[in-house]
Amino acid sequence: MKQPIAGYHRDAESHWVAELACGHFQHVRHAPPWTLRPWVTTDEGRRRALGRLLECRKCDAGAPPDQPD
């Protein structure tokens, strides 16, 4: 199920995590060549990606919302 990005935070290892509107979290790494997300590397890029739809496998599985650390 696709869900929009509502915000971001960093995990314990300083990787960016998207906070989806459904309450689930999803890592959004730029790790070429396998994952190309250059927008995540800048404040402006992340701001412009707010509202972008990401596939949420946790919603597909019926998982409860994630809890912040």
Which tens digits make up the pLDDT trace of 12-46? 999 999 999 999 999 999 988 888 999 999 999 99
3-state per-residue secondary structure call for the chain: CEEEEEEEEECCCCCEEEEECCCCEEECCCECCCECCHHHHCHHHHHHHCCCEEECHHHHCCCCCCCCC
* Predicted local confidence at residue 42, as pLDDT: 96
Whole-prediction pTM? 0.91
* Predicted local confidence at residue 28, as pLDDT: 96
